[in-house]
Structure 1
Amino acid sequence: MTWKLSPEIKAILFDKDGTLVDFDKTWAATNRKGALIAADGNAALADVLLQACGMDPVTGKTRADSMFAAANAGEIAAHMVAHGSPFEAEELVRLLDKTFVEGAESPWPICDLKALMQTLSGTGFAVGIASSDGEASIRRTVEVLELSSEIDFIAGYDSGHGPKPEAGMVLAFAAHLGLEPSQIAMVGDNGHDMEMARAAAAGAAIGVLSGTGTRQSLEALADILIGSVAELPALVAAR
């Protein structure tokens, strides 16, 4: 795929899980914990819920565009209730959100994220994060990774901009910076990230192969595919 980043791009909006942090290493244990909570301690039901939400209980691997890979806590809770969780959906959302904030204490960065963000800001890019995780969990991850001074914008599913793949997070980032959506590049590892970029008429949809998404699931949606965000400086330099 021959493609170059447009000189019009002034800011980069990153997905978090699978894009900035390794999805399975960061979230496998937390998702197991969340499923067991949702199953009210029933281990067999917890495995059913894990599979329903896209995680293999044996390997800990998560499928592309599955509930765990792409959905927010409200959607995951509703899906778990539909597959046998005895909780009311509203109560389960509260329990899962708490679990996911706790899981934010142990992120596994894809690369040296501080160096990456400093390189991008040094080249003149503003940087934001848009995740299907809750805002509190995102902010805690940013704090743990010591990226607070590098990130200009944070949006979660509960930040008031709407969920992925709606356009709201990209549009809010553009408005925050006083830019047009066409000046924003969206970087993510799943189809909903690319679809959000398209919905907002973002200037670029960049897929990364470091998360749960695959070349097959992303190729038709992304302008370009790269192995991971570690390749972004070279992409920026080539424009």
Structure 2
Amino acid sequence: MTWKMSKTIKAILFDKDGTLIDFDKTWAATNRKGALIAADGEPELADILLNECGTDPVTGKTRADSMFAAANASEIAAHMVIHGSPIEHGKLVRLLDQIFIDGAESPWPICDLNSLLDKLTGAGLTLGIASSDGEASIRRTVEVLGLSRHISFVAGYDSGYGPKPEPGMINAFAAHLGVSPAEIAMVGDNGHDMEMARAAGAGAAIGVLSGTGTRETLTQLADVLVGSVADLPALLADR
């Protein structure tokens, strides 16, 4: 797809997992813990739930656009209940939200994020994060990585803007800044991120290949693909 990003981009909205932080290194153990909790401690059922939600029980790798890769805690919990979890949905959502908050204590950054975000804000861009994770977990990740001074907006699935791939998170960021969605670039690693950008009329949908998405799953949805967010300064310089 031809890159349509214009010179009018004033802000970047980042996905978090797979985009700013390494998905498998950060979440493989947490996802396994969540599956075991959902299975009420039964290892065989935990492996089934883990696989059904998109993570290989042996390698810990997560599939593109799977539940763990793209869904929120409520959606993951519902999927686990369908596939055999004996835990009531509402209770399981609360349990998963908490383990995702706990998992935010040990994020693995994709690159030197402080240096990267310094370059982007130095170029006059305002930055935000929109994730299918809960807002508390996102904010804790930002704090742990020392990125608070760079991030002016945070949206999670429970922030009241609607879930991905609905356009609400981008629209809320635009309203927060007083700009048009067409002046915002969305950067993410899976189809939900790109679909959200399309739904909101964002100025660009930039796919990164550092997460669970692949060239095959992202090519038809993204305006441009880059290896990781580390490539953004050079990409923007070429506008």
2:79 & 2:26 partners in 1: Cα distance?
22
* Structure 2 partner of 1:98: 98
Shift of 1:4: 6.3
* Structure 2 partner of 1:143: 143
2:76 & 2:184 partners in 1: Cα distance?
29
Could you list the runs of 5+ residues in structure 1 that have no partner in the other structure? none
* Structure 2 partner of 1:160: 160
* Structure 1 partner of 2:178: 178
1:202 & 1:5 partners in 2: Cα distance?
9
Conserved 8 A contact 1:187-1:193: yes
Find the residue that maps to 2:186 and give its secondary structure.
Answer: strand
* Structure 2 partner of 1:129: 129
Mapped pair 1:169 → 2:150: no
Paired amino acid for 1:105? E
Query: TM-score, structure 2 length as denominator?
Result: 0.99
1:148 & 1:187 partners in 2: Cα distance?
18
Count residues with an aligned counterpart: 239
**Residues 88-122 of structure 1: CA deviation (Å, up to 9, x unaligned):** 10000000000000000000000000111110000
Could you list the runs of 5+ residues in structure 2 that have no partner in the other structure? none
**Residues 31-57 of structure 1: CA deviation (Å, up to 9, x unaligned):** 000000000100000000000000000
**Residues 56-113 of structure 1: CA deviation (Å, up to 9, x unaligned):** 0000000000000000000000000000000110000000000000000000000000
Conserved 8 A contact 1:5-1:236: no
Conserved 8 A contact 1:4-1:235: no
Paired amino acid for 1:69? A
Identity %: 77
Conserved 8 A contact 1:53-1:68: yes
1:169 & 1:31 partners in 2: Cα distance?
25
